[in-house]
Amino acid sequence: MRKVRMNVQGRVQGVGFRYMTKMVADELEIKGTVRNEDDGSVSIEAIGTDEAMTLFIQKVKESPSPMGRVTYVDIQEYPLMEVYKKFSVTN
């Protein structure tokens, strides 16, 4: 299983980005969380198979929300991440 932490920048708040990200995660059986940050970015913690994670990252970069626009994604491998049972939207 691959565990990553992402910080996504661009037009990612107020456009349904978190909920559309959850839909993609559920479709790919990715577990984790997505939340808005005070600086206008969105943070994602995600756990999934290598194949699913590759697709998930690609879809996040393309913006799962039609009204969103991703300008930058910082992706870090995060092997010590807690294990999630589902994918959830917070704050």
Residue 8, classed as helix, strand or coil, is strand
Residues belonging to the active site: 18, 36
Contact in structure between 31 and 84 (CB atoms under 8 Å): yes
Judge whether 48 and 60 are in contact, CB under 8 Å.
Answer: no
Residues 63, 91, 86, 1: what is their CA dihedral angle, to the nearest 10 degrees? 60
β-partners of residue 36 are 42
Tell me how far apart the alpha carbons of residues 15 and 73 are, in angstroms, rounded to a whole number: 17
